[in-house]
Amino acid sequence: MRIIVIGSGLMGLASAYYLSEHGHEVTVIDRQQGPALETSFANAGVIHSSQAGPWNAPGIALQVLKWMGKEDSPFLLRPNAIPSLIGWGLSFIRHSRPNRFRANLKKNAALASYNIQCMQEFLEQHPFDYCASSLGVMKVIQKEQDMEKEIASMSFYKSVGIQNEVLNQAEIFSKEPALIENGQNLIGGIYFPGDQAGDAYQFCVQLTDLLRKKNVQFEYDLTVDEFLTSNNVITAIKTSKGEYSGDSYVLAAGSYSPLLTKKLGLNIPIRPVKGYSITLDMSDWEAKPLMPIIDDEAHVAITPLGNQLRAAGTAELNGYKDEINQYRIQLVLDQVINRYPEAKKHINYEEINSWCGFRPITVDGVPIIGDAPTYKNLYLNTGHGHLGWTLAMGSGKLVADNISGHNTTLDIGSYALNRF
């Protein structure tokens, strides 16, 4: 089959890889000049089943209302974004009921674990160099009540395959000595040995090179405007440089996916949730941090990537406005300095790489993978929210198996759009 993949972020590239492995003729189209230049560019770099829980955890509605309009809040809802969020928002809240939250966490955990398996098989054949780390991830905790809450949910995490160990303060310091300097307020943590980390952008660049060698075609600097249809079949896509047609189409346009399906009458319940990251060169710091940490209280993840330290966090519901708000960048930087005061001596303030991206968040916090209703030759691989790097290769394999008529390892119905 001739298949057109829209989007060359993590989802588009992973889909293209498995589709080409199945013998299809694949073309990847993206409006950017190269691979992974939007949300897959500078994420926190963590492949973390430990974060499989959707963001709409029980209690989220009150929490977001409490934070509304507060510039320094970790989850900022801007009042002017509310009209575009009404239907999505109500559904997002409905999915925060405890039973739904657990069911959705379980789906993400299953896909995260499948992803690790796919990654392992892939890397055995293609040993990419992307600052990969298999040291696990440590969640650090400050408050007794948070520790109790975490411990209470850890047996459920184990039951869905997410291994974890509860650590006291001495144990977190021994895993990450760089925390000692300002770690008096940390009472312990949870260690997730199965989590990994790596630079998603570097991975995508190498995957693109590999795909080119496998004769996958890339069309960059090409914006897809709309799908053309006849009798519930996509016949072509209209782009900024003319029409392109294939036998099937995979939509992997991240947060922009719903904008493209709107004209087809397909509602994809995704909204963009903006996040920020900074990347700091730490090559002159000998005792730099070794292990990715997650600090839920500060809403930040700090990940060593080779000689760099990447810190990412904050969430903002404010439509598709992609300007970088320096105040929110400063909040992320403050968290790095707070956790690792020694870092201050090594930061070159002129050369901080600041970035923002839109997490494509679905109403239930689970990605949308597989057939699109109504249109027989349209497939979706989108809506991975805060988990795109954690789920990419598994999702690519699922959608490619689905399109090729192979049995899928996981029940693809759990991820299909028609679950809503």
Ligand X SMILES: Cc1cc2nc3c(=O)[nH]c(=O)nc-3n(C[C@H](O)[C@H](O)[C@H](O)COP(=O)(O)OP(=O)(O)OC[C@H]3O[C@@H](n4cnc5c(N)ncnc54)[C@H](O)[C@@H]3O)c2cc1C
Site residues, ligand X (CB under 6 A): 6-12, 29-32, 36-40, 43-46, 223-224, 252-254, 256, 260, 275-277, 301, 312, 357, 359-360, 382, 384-390
Q: In which residue are the tokens 């699109």 written? A: 372
Query: Where are any strands of DSSP class E within 64-187?
Result: 75-77, 137-141, 165-168
In angstroms, what is the minimal distance from the CB of 317 to ligand X?
Answer: 13
In angstroms, what is the minimal distance from the CB of 169 to ligand X?
Answer: 25
Q: Check if the beta carbon of residue 138 is closer than 8 Å to that of residue 190.
A: yes
Nearer to ligand X, 128 or 173 (CB): 128
In angstroms, what is the minimal distance from the CB of 224 to ligand X?
Answer: 4
Bridge partner list, 310: 279, 303
Residues 6+ positions from 163 with CB-CB distance below 8 Å = 192, 193, 194
Rounded to 5 degrees, φ, ψ at 292 are -65, 135
Nearer to ligand X, 167 or 387 (CB): 387
In angstroms, what is the minimal distance from the CB of 254 to ligand X?
Answer: 3
For β-strands 25-29 and 293-295, DSSP reports them as unpaired
Nearer to ligand X, 169 or 291 (CB): 291
Q: Check if the beta carbon of residue 202 is closer than 8 Å to that of residue 130.
A: yes
Residue 94: count other Cβ atoms within 10 Å of its Cβ: 13
Nearer to ligand X, 5 or 186 (CB): 5
Nearer to ligand X, 40 or 308 (CB): 40
In angstroms, what is the minimal distance from the CB of 355 to ligand X?
Answer: 8
In angstroms, what is the minimal distance from the CB of 188 to ligand X?
Answer: 22
Nearer to ligand X, 169 or 380 (CB): 380
Residue 405: count other Cβ atoms within 10 Å of its Cβ: 7
In angstroms, what is the minimal distance from the CB of 231 to ligand X?
Answer: 24
CA atoms within 13 A on the CB side of 249: 27
Nearer to ligand X, 44 or 400 (CB): 44
For β-strands 224-230 and 233-239, DSSP reports them as antiparallel
In angstroms, what is the minimal distance from the CB of 359 to ligand X?
Answer: 5
Query: Where are any strands of DSSP class E within 176-292?
Result: 188-192, 196-197, 217-219, 224-230, 233-239, 242-244, 248-251, 270-281
Rounded to 5 degrees, φ, ψ at 414 are -65, -20
Nearer to ligand X, 9 or 183 (CB): 9
DSSP H or E segment with residue 301: strand 300-305
In angstroms, what is the minimal distance from the CB of 233 to ligand X?
Answer: 20
Residues 6+ positions from 86 with CB-CB distance below 8 Å = none
For β-strands 217-219 and 25-29, DSSP reports them as parallel
Q: Give the span between the Cα atoms of 154 and 159, in whole angstroms.
A: 9
Nearer to ligand X, 49 or 169 (CB): 49
Nearer to ligand X, 169 or 313 (CB): 313
Helix (H, G, I), strand (E, B) or coil at 79: helix
Q: Give the span between the Cα atoms of 139 and 152, in whole angstroms.
A: 15
Q: Give the span between the Cα atoms of 403 and 416, in whole angstroms.
A: 13
In angstroms, what is the minimal distance from the CB of 244 to ligand X?
Answer: 11
Amino acid letter, 343: A
Q: Give the span between the Cα atoms of 55 and 25, in whole angstroms.
A: 37
